[in-house]
């Protein structure tokens, strides 16, 4: 895979988001299967692994730590703080004292003495961003963290944070059907020399054809509460996907590979981190980095599926109120 810059490291362009191995998408796979997938990712050249304290309420970090401890010196490890599970509920808490407890617990679960890139998972709007980032800066001074990142923030918040301590990366949803980053954050990252890490680059499985019937999703699958996966929006979006699949077939690739290539083509500072529970899908995703698609095909994909053509918001209203990302008027 081609290499791209991330927090003073050179890593393969496509990383692995680890969340869905035990969080948010219904019944988790068996631990042995999840560990086998993580090992296979490494064999295929993945070096950038992304987790968070929230995922599985600590369980995902524990899984990643167990699987990757023998390989730790050869990989780039990212995790997040500021949003955790408390008494079985998701809580956003960016107070400095909370963040310090979170990093110490994360290091123990991950079985490492440092995390290469540590994000503030959500900006706690009750706490000045400077206070949260200032606390994280002390983690860097202590050698517990290599570099700092932010997730789901606006360009204005990014600049405020960067003035407190250099921000090496911003992680936000970005794909053909989620273009909010194009409003300001992509350009702000470029100006500051920060990487942009794109989560859900395959639209939570939609762009790869992984969701045929949203009513068939498991009861605890977060997509059930997302407007784009609810009718009648889903049916309208599915019609767009059928056209994308035809375009991809004509180009000699899958719709997921076309979506990833489109994303990589939007800027050299963009690093997608698709997640999956399927080794086959993971192999397909990684192969996307080596494709050479005609610019006209990528342009056609972007013209077909975009913020104007897609139906439904990317999050329910309650979640949209929690994030700081710019939104289209």
**What gap in Å lies between CA 149 and CA 167, rounded to an integer?**
5
Q: Helices 59-68 and 96-110: crossing angle, nearest 10°?
A: 40
Question: 272-298: b or e for each residue (b if 16 or more CB lie within 10 Å)?
Answer: bbbbbbeeebbebbbbbbeeebeeebb
Q: Which residue among 25, 55, 118, 119 is the active-site one? A: 55
Whole-angstrom Cα Rg for the chain: 19
Token representation of residue 216: 């068939």
**What gap in Å lies between CA 153 and CA 158, rounded to an integer?**
7
**What gap in Å lies between CA 80 and CA 313, rounded to an integer?**
25
Q: Is 292 left (phi over 0), alpha (psi -120 to 50) or beta?
A: beta
Q: How far is CA 315 from CA 22, 253, 265, 308, in A?
A: 20, 29, 25, 16
Strand, coil or helix: what is 45? Answer: coil
| 174 is annotated as an active-site residue | no
Question: Which residues carry out catalysis?
Answer: 55
């Amino acid at each position: 895979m081609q290499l791209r810059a991330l927090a003073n490291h050179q890593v393969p362009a496509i990383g692995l988001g680890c969340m869905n191995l035990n969080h948010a998408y219904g019944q988790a796979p068996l631990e042995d299967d999840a560990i086998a997938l993580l090992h296979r990712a490494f064999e295929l050249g993945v070096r950038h692994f992304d987790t968070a304290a929230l995922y599985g309420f600590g369980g995902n970090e524990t899984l990643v730590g167990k699987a990757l401890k023998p390989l730790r010196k050869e990989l780039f490890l990212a995790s997040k703080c500021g949003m955790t599970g408390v008494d079985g509920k998701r809580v956003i808490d960016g107070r400095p004292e909370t963040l310090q407890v979170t990093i110490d617990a994360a290091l123990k679960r991950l079985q490492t003495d440092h995390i290469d890139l540590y994000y503030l998972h959500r900006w706690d709007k009750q706490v000045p961003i400077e206070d949260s980032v200032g606390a994280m800066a002390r983690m860097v001074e202590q050698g517990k963290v290599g570099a700092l990142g932010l997730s789901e923030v606006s360009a204005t918040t990014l600049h405020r944070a960067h003035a407190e301590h250099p921000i090496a990366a911003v992680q936000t949803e970005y794909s053909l059907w989620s273009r909010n980053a194009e409003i300001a954050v992509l350009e702000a990252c470029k100006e500051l020399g920060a990487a942009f890490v794109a989560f859900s680059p395959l639209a939570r499985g939609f762009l790869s054809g992984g969701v045929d019937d949203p009513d068939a999703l498991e009861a605890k699958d977060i997509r059930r509460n997302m407007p784009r996966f609810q009718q009648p929006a889903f049916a309208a979006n599915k019609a767009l996907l059928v056209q994308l699949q035809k375009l991809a077939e004509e180009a000699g690739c899958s719709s997921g590979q076309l979506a990833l290539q489109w994303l990589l083509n939007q800027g050299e500072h963009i690093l997608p981190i698709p997640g999956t529970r399927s080794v086959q899908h993971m192999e397909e995703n990684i192969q996307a980095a080596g494709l050479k698609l005609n610019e006209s095909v990528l342009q056609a994909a972007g013209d077909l599926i975009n913020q104007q053509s897609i139906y439904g918001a990317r999050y329910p209203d309650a979640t949209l109120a929690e994030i700081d990302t710019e939104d289209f008027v």
